[in-house]
Structure 1
Amino acid sequence: MMSKRRIRVLVVDDSLVMRQLISDVLSSAPDMEVVGTAPDGRSGLRLAEELQPDVITLDIQMPGMDGLSVLDALVSRRPVAVIMVSSLTQAGAAITLDALERGAVDYVTKPSSAAAAGKSFGVELVRKVRFAAACDVARIIRLRRQRLQATAIVPSAAKLPAAKDDSDCPQLRDACVAIGISTGGPPALTALFRDLKPPMPPIFVVQHMPPQFTKPFAWRLNSVSALTVKEAESGEVVRPNHAYVAPGGYHMAVSGRPPAVRIRVCDGEPVSGHKPSVDVMMNSVAEVYRKRVLGVIMTGMGRDGANGCRAIRRAGGYVLGQDEATSDVYGMNKVAFVEGNVDRQFSLPDGARLIMQYVEEHFLARTAGVR
């Protein structure tokens, strides 16, 4: 009986230390082999053509031809799974978000050194390479590019928030929208927030991201949205027409009672494998807002958010789940749906319309709360 073919990986990074570290991690996995390494973008392109790897790990910041230029050249030649290797800085985060919108499948963040890499980096890298090798790369690239064209974002560093109309909407202070999302999330949320319009209740967003990434991501969403989008700060009173993105590396919850609900950002162990955790946020809003919660569970690996969706529905709220056809990864949303904790599935292009329709009919109408 023939053994299963191993995943063939090309490593492109200008740092010899990082090339060796990534190669060692991947070579230690029984189902992977590093077929080549390249110290710069041009040699990476040549080796990609020559070796035809299944997955490419690609450094973002390289002299000469940078990672974004290499990525554009790679995906224009053939659909190939690219995982960006990003520095843990706000500049690195902004460029990584550009890369995801332009067709990179996923990303990992660089440890500060080989000594600081630890076990978690290797586990994350191997998991993401396995996912990238198994996914429908052509479909993901097509979806990402369609969303990028629709949002009309010029790929560049995230812009600072623009001034918004922050007029209050008192009847929405006792309601909220709770969004949970993971792999494939940044392009999907950009498309969603582009179409969301006031009046909206406070929106809470948990996107699985490391520290330093969530602030540039919030800026990016703010730059395309009619709502005010920001990284959440502990203690702030939430407001309608505002969206709050959980800070990377921390859980986000809420406390108090409407109309004076405050955000609580806290440390702690990962929940459902993540920090921030969708379950933590959704359980919290279900307890505070009760039936006046609209939950939205979207693309992502794993099952984070499935328990939170159940809590929202048990409290009398309603849950929308992104469908398989428009999800990069039908994982978190699939689990919630299969376990009976999604009231209705939606196509991403219809998401904003359905959210606004629900807000209009159930949060703003005189018969609010009647389903």
Structure 2
Amino acid sequence: MKGACIVRKTGVLIIDDSAAVRSILTRELSAYEEITVTGAAGSPYAARDAVEHTDFDVVILDIDMPRLDGLAFIGYLAERRPVPVIVMSSFVTPGNRSAVQALEKGAVYAVHKPGGPFSVEEFVGELYREIREAAMVSVQRLYDAARRLESSGLNETGRIKRSPVSSRLQPDGACDGRLTVVGVTTGGVAAFEELFTQFAEGRQPVAAVIRLPEYVTAQLAERLDGMCGLHVKEAEDGEKPAAGTVYIAPGGRCMTVAAAGSERRLRIARGMGQSGEAHPVDELFTSAAETYGKGCTAILVGT
């Protein structure tokens, strides 16, 4: 029909060992006009055939499965069919690092797969939003950064000798009037880690936002604290940015910088930000520029 708008559907491959989960996700995601579920498999091992013969744009992958585990399968995809991967795990909770490991290997996002009674609408709605985001990611950059991180030995050895990332980012006396802000939209955990291992010790404070779920940011901060020469922590509301410290916004929260008398403080709020629409990276960058002026340096980690 003349003038009709053709919607470009995003093909999704679902890999989960639960037949019930595969059935629910296939049915519910297929209800969205922009999504078509092109395949489903009960394990990464069984999904190898789909990787070779099925047309898809995004993979939804349970990383807690037997035989060929989800983490190994991300590496398999990076070599055979580099596409965005959204990982699901029942163990995206404090103390379990499988989600962070998946993100380091190139996955774009990690979703907590609820156990027992849960809201299908809420869970599928989150997946839908992440599929839309993932479909726009330049995934080859994520996998390239993951390979560099792995070849550097950081995954195994922790701290390494660093080179300053930029002369502009080096400390030059008092840091009270200076702040570096870092933003990552979707994916990019390996590039994020790679960036911070290049920062010099004792530099101005850093405030960072990366799109990750609750619990994962705390694990990422703990890992980075052992990898680079800066103190890395999950940010808390009301903290005063201190030299030599990286503050990572908690998952699912918006972090901004505000003047408090003669001081500057970090502010943490739930949701997407003050406007209700702006991205958390935009919120952080805008507030930092308004508060620090020329003393603010911004780094956007692209995906």
Q: Deviations over 1:285-324 (max 9, x none)?
A: 344433322222332xxxxxxxxxxxxxxxxxxxxxxxxx
Give the match for residue 260 of structure 2.
256
Q: Which amino acid aligns with 1:12?
A: I
Asked whether the 8 Å contact 2:59–2:86 carries over to 1, the reply is yes
Note the 1:210-249 alignment, pairs <5 A: 210-249=213-252
- In 1, the alpha carbon distance for the partners of 2:294 and 2:113 equals 42
The equivalent position to 2:80 in structure 1, one of 77, 80, 83, is 77
- Distance (whole Å) between structure 2 residues aligned to residue 136 and residue 268 of structure 1: 25
Q: Show the 5 A alignment for 1:310-349.
A: 328=303
Q: Which residue of 2 aligns with 1:192?
A: 195
Alignment of 1:134-283 (within 5 A): 136-150=138-152, 152-154=154-156, 171-254=174-257, 255-257=259-261, 260-267=263-270, 270-271=273-274, 277-283=280-286
Per-residue CA shift, 1:166-210, capped at 9, x if unaligned? xx9961123211222211332221111010002311111111222
For 2:239 and 2:142, locate their aligned partners in 1 and report how far apart those are by CA, in whole Å: 37
Q: Distance in 2 between matches of 1:134 and 1:231?
A: 28
**Counterparts of 1:21-60 in structure 2 under 5 Å?**
21-51=24-54, 53-60=56-63
Q: Deviations over 1:201-256 (max 9, x none)?
A: 11111112221111011112222211111001223333101111111233323442
CA distance change for structure 1 residues 273 and 72 in 2, over 3 Å: closer, same or farther? Answer: farther
Aligned in 2, Cα 1:25/1:114: closer, same or farther, shift over 3 Å? farther
Instruction: Give the TM-score, by structure 1 length.
Output: 0.65
The more displaced of 194-203 and 142-151 is 142-151
Letter aligned with residue 198 of structure 2: D
Listed as ranges, the gaps of 5+ residues in structure 2 are: 159-170
Residues 145 and 191 of structure 2 are in contact (CA less than 8 Å); yes or no, is this contact kept in structure 1? Answer: no
* Aligned counterparts of 2:55 and 2:32: Cα–Cα separation in 1: 20
After superposition, the Cα gap between the structure-2 partners of 1:12 and 1:294, relative to the gap in structure 1 and judged at 3 Å, is same
Aligned amino acid, residue 283 of structure 2 = V
| Matched-pair contact (CA < 8 Å) for 2:240–2:266 | yes
Alignment CA distance shift 1:81-1:294 (3 Å) = closer
- Other-structure match for 1:332: none
Corresponding residue number in structure 2 for 1:11: 14
| Counterparts of 1:37 and 1:194, CA distance in 2 | 39
Are the counterparts in 1 of residues 84 and 139 from structure 2 also a CA contact under 8 Å? yes
> Post-superposition shift, 1:140?
4.0
Residues 140/272 of structure 1: CA separation in 2 closer, same or farther (3 Å cut):
farther
Give per-residue Cα distances to partners, 1:68-95, cap 9 Å, x unaligned. 0222233333334432123431355x32
Query: Which residue of 122, 126, 129 corresponds with 2:128?
Result: 126
- Note the alpha carbon deviations across 1:325-344, whole angstroms, 9 max, x for none: xxx2xxxxxxxxxxxxxxxx
Instruction: Quote the Cα distance in structure 2 between the aligned partners of 1:77 and 1:283.
Output: 40
Are 1:9 and 1:53, in contact at CA under 8 Å, matched by a contact in 2? yes
Q: CA deviation at 1:135?
A: 5.0
> Is this contact kept in 2: 1:175–1:289, CA < 8 A?
yes
The structure 1 segments of at least 4 consecutive aligned residues displaced by more than 6 Å after TM superposition are none
**Contact 2:87–2:111 under 8 Å retained in 1:** yes
Q: Which residue of 1 aligns with 2:71?
A: 68
What is the TM-score normalised by the length of structure 2? 0.78
**Partner residue in 2 for 1:324:** none
Q: 3-state DSSP class of the match of 1:199?
A: coil
Match of 2:155, SS state, is coil
Q: Distance in 2 between matches of 1:123 and 1:96?
A: 20
- Matches of 2:110 and 2:42, distance apart in 1: 19
CA distance in 2, matches of 1:272, 1:77: 42
For residue 101 of structure 1, what is the aligned residue in structure 2? 104
Deviations 1:38-64 (A, max 9, x none): 222322234434535443211011234
In structure 1, the gaps of 5 or more residues are: 160-167, 300-327, 329-371
Following TM superposition, by how much is the alpha carbon of 1:112 offset from its aligned partner in structure 2, in angstroms?
4.8
Could you say if the C-alpha distance between residues 252 and 151 of structure 1 is closer, same or farther in structure 2, counting changes exceeding 3 Å?
farther
TM-aligned CA distance change 1:243 to 1:151, over 3 Å: farther
Aligned length: 286
Q: Which residue identity does 2:292 align to in structure 1?
A: Y
Q: Is the CA contact (8 Å cut-off) linking 2:235 and 2:249 kept in structure 1?
A: yes
